[in-house]
């Protein structure tokens, strides 16, 4: 079964193909399957978005043009926008404010609170504290495909690795960093009709109905955060502790996160899960989901940076054609395990580089096509 989660956009360089995430449920070991939504922004086109950046009324972004060298699309031209300044022309550090709002979610009599110690699943640690200390926004030593890309955050390390050739040509001083600001917790209770307990492992895993939850975020919560500094020049995120989303029915579960934007000028935002239940198996723990969503926001903030069609890999069972750097390696690849000074080892999803989408030769570290060596060549032609 396929579910379409992309809208066709007339203003993109090529028509976007419907995404077909692999269907979920439980595998033969009883593990739940998590996936990420790809949601293109429909209210703002890339030219308008770049104009807001240039005017200082929106997120700082840069525009790029690419010509495909991949089989089946060789010579086709594409364009898009990414967060920060251009790694081709800029030698400085760009810093974007990323706010995080801890969501305290009540489902029945169970409260999922990332600001309190969890003795059942997290050895008494406070999830929000561990997240604040993570390599999503704090410096760690990153070597990607044999190249030391610096003592920096994962988002910056990935972007440096993905555009390593032009960055080195410009002296290697380019950085695209995030400044984390923690906002006040927000309480969420959608009622038993729109939320449920999905499973119990070390502790419960909650689920909220995506539609009502999204409406609550966009219509009520995000507008209420302007007094705390949330504005179109910032990226506001929502930390959900051991709570995922389902699409209308729990049979359509489990959405681990997505990024999107609303308003004009555009306010970008992203809710994502911080998991300690091990309900999804493997390395889908703690900051794995944040690494996926924050880096996709960085490289595809509108969700509609068009690419040649790719697919049948990662979470995508059909063909997809946008620059969502996490989707091709969701649930696979070589995730990073990063030990920080707080004694905790974080999990970060491996990501596909810019060259994987548009074709060789790679401009990334080690001439590879993903940041931890899984992709050694660009994606080939994709047909459904």
The answer to the question of residue 12 being in a domain is: no
Each residue of 100-145: pLDDT tens digit? 999 999 999 999 999 999 999 999 999 999 999 999 999 999 999 9
For residue 300, give every residue at least 6 positions away whose Cβ sits within 8 Å of its Cβ, in sequence order, or none: 80, 82, 322, 323, 324, 325
The answer to the question of residue 318 being in a domain is: yes
| Distance of alpha carbon 89 from alpha carbon 109, whole angstroms | 54
Q: What's residue 22's pLDDT?
A: 41
The answer to the question of residue 26 being in a domain is: no
DSSP-derived secondary structure letter, 139: -
The answer to the question of residue 191 being in a domain is: yes
Bond from prior residue into 101 cis (ω within 30 degrees of 0):
no
Q: Which structural domain, as residue segments, surrounds residue 45?
A: 35-367
For residue 226, give every residue at least 6 positions away whose Cβ sits within 8 Å of its Cβ, in sequence order, or none: none
DSSP-derived secondary structure letter, 300: -
The answer to the question of residue 382 being in a domain is: no
For residue 49, pLDDT beyond 70: yes
For residue 14, pLDDT beyond 70: no
For residue 98, pLDDT beyond 90: yes
Backbone phi, psi, residue 299, to 5°: -95, -15
Each residue of 271-294: pLDDT tens digit? 999 999 999 988 999 999 999 999
Q: What's residue 24's pLDDT?
A: 38
**14-18, 65-69, 168-172, 225-229: least confidently modelled range:** 14-18
- Which of these, 18, 21, 15, 17, lies nearest to 247 by C-alpha position? 21
pLDDT band of residue 84 (cuts 50, 70, 90) is very high
The three-point CA angle 13-97-51 to 5° equals 35
Each residue of 236-265: pLDDT tens digit? 999 999 999 999 999 999 999 999 999 999
Structure tokens at 317: 């069972």
The answer to the question of residue 373 being in a domain is: no
Structure tokens at 241: 């502790």
Mean pLDDT score, 368-372? 98
How does the average pLDDT of the chain come out, rounded? 92
Q: What's residue 6's pLDDT?
A: 31
The answer to the question of residue 3 being in a domain is: no
DSSP 216-279: HIIIIIHHHTGGGT--TTSEEEEEEESEEEESSSTTSEEEEE--EEETTTTEEEEEEEEB-S-T
Number of structural domains (the chain) is 1
Q: What's residue 23's pLDDT?
A: 34
- Which of these, 275, 272, 277, 285, lies nearest to 337 by C-alpha position? 285
pLDDT band of residue 384 (cuts 50, 70, 90) is confident
The answer to the question of residue 27 being in a domain is: no
């Amino acid at each position: 079964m396929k579910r379409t989660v992309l809208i066709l956009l007339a203003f993109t360089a090529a028509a976007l193909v419907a995404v077909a995430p692999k269907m979920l449920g439980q595998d033969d070991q009883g593990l739940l399957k998590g996936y990420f939504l790809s949601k293109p922004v429909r209210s703002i086109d890339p030219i308008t978005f770049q104009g807001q950046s240039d005017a200082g009324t929106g997120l700082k972004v840069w525009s790029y043009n690419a010509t495909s060298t991949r089989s089946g699309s060789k010579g086709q031209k594409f364009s898009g926008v990414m967060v920060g300044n251009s790694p081709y022309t800029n030698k400085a550090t760009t810093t974007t404010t990323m706010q995080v709002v801890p969501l305290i979610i009540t489902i029945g009599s169970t409260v999922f609170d990332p600001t309190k110690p969890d003795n059942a699943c997290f050895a008494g640690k406070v999830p929000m504290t561990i997240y604040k200390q993570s390599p999503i926004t704090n410096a760690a030593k990153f070597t990607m495909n044999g190249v030391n890309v610096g003592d920096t955050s994962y988002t910056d390390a990935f972007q440096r690795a993905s555009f390593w050739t032009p960055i080195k040509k410009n002296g290697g001083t380019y950085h695209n960093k995030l400044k984390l600001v923690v906002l006040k917790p927000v309480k969420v209770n959608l009622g038993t009709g729109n939320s449920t307990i999905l499973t119990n492992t070390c502790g419960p895993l909650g689920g909220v109905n995506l539609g009502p939850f999204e409406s609550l975020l966009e219509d009520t919560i995000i507008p209420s955060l302007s007094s705390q500094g949330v504005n179109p020049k910032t990226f506001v995120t929502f930390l959900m502790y051991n709570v995922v989303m389902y699409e209308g029915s729990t049979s359509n579960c489990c959405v681990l996160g997505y990024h999107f934007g609303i308003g004009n000028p555009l306010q970008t935002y992203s809710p994502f899960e911080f998991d300690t239940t091990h309900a999804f198996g493997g390395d889908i723990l703690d900051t794995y989901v944040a690494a996926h969503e924050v880096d996709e926001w960085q490289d595809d903030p509108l969700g509609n940076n068009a690419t040649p069609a790719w697919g049948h890999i990662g979470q995508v069972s059909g063909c997809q054609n946008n620059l969502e750097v996490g989707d091709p390696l969701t649930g696979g690849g070589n995730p990073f395990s990063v030990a920080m000074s707080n004694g905790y080892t974080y999990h970060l999803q491996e990501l596909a580089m810019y060259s994987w989408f548009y074709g060789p030769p790679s401009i990334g570290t080690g001439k590879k096509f993903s940041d931890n060596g899984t992709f050694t060549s660009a994606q080939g032609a994709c047909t459904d």
